[in-house]
Amino acid sequence: MFFLTPVLVAVVCILIVWIFKNGDGSSKRRKGEPRARAEVRPWVDEDLKDNTDLHQGEEDANDWQESEEDVEHIPFSHTRYPEKEMVKRSQEFYALLSKRRSVRFISNEQVPMEVIDNVIKTAGTAPSGAHTEPWTFVVVKDPDVKHKIREIIEEEEEINYLKRMGRQWVTDLKKLRTNWVKEYLDTAPVLILIFKQVHGVAASGKRKVHYYNEISVSIACGILLAALQITKVYLEKVAFTSSLML
């Protein structure tokens, strides 16, 4: 799905920054960290640098004591398919996923929200650094909000094309025949915005580092893509007859 491509995942990260700058963030906003990050080094992921002090370490030790009881322990059970079945399933899954395309022309046909819920829950099964699950999925259906999002994304993408990404970026994209105009953000009946949480908040109210948050949320996006392709929930009126993706 177009809004899950790396570019747009990244764009959504800018989006969250933009929203914070205008004091109109989602309930899951991380109290301005993204803005701070953006001002200092936009685009650079610093989630592997531990910026907590020893005292914070102690706090979290206590937090674990509290949260330990909340952890739901689910017995692990596992059955294995016979080799032939394994091979067959891997072939079928490859055949199905190789049909996925990052199309730029999306149908306005409605999709069942139950499916959207299921694919997001599926994405939430992704592994994450220290099981921090540093992602927030926001489903947008309201036409006005979708259009506002389109305006923000187009504004950021125009900066990409004209300034931020430099000449090679523009050259590279020529062959994809893309630009910063994203009409499909109005057309699609549903947008799923994916936010990376650069920090969590401990029971103590202190910040908790989310290790590998960009890697973790991107892995979740990959699983979301697979779930969407499995359900073939989307329908394109027109699509590039091309195997190129962005």
Site residues for a copy of itself, window 207-236 (CB under 8 A)? 208-209, 211-212, 214-216, 218-227, 230-233, 235-236
The token pair that represents 51 in the structure block: 């910026």
**Of 22, 23, 40, 72, the one binding a copy of itself by CB under 8 A:** 72
Whether 123 contacts 221, CB under 8 Å: yes
What is the DSSP track for 113-156? Answer: HHHHHHHHHHHTTS--GGG---EEEEEE--HHHHHHHHHHHHHH
Residues in region 136-175 near a copy of itself by CB under 8 A: 164-175
> Counting contacts by CB under 8 A, is residue 46 touching a copy of itself?
yes
Q: Which is nearer to a copy of itself, 131 or 144 (CB)?
A: 131
Q: Is 44 in the site for a copy of itself (CB under 8 A)?
A: yes
Closest to a copy of itself by CB, 152 vs 220, is 220
Q: For the stretch 170-205, what's the b/e string if a residue is b when 16 or more beta carbons lie within 10 angstroms of its beta carbon?
A: eeebeeeebebebebbeebbbbbbbbbbbbbebeee
Least Cβ distance, residue 23 to a copy of itself (angstroms): 26
Shortest Cβ 145–a copy of itself spacing (Å): 24
| Closest of 71, 52, 84 to residue 133, by C-alpha | 71
Instruction: Tell me which stretch binds a copy of itself (CB under 8 A): 31-39, 84-92, 140-148, 179-187.
Output: 84-92
Range 100-139, binding a copy of itself (CB under 8 A) = 100-103, 111-112, 114-115, 118-119, 121-122, 125-132
What the block records as the tokens of 138 is 């926001």
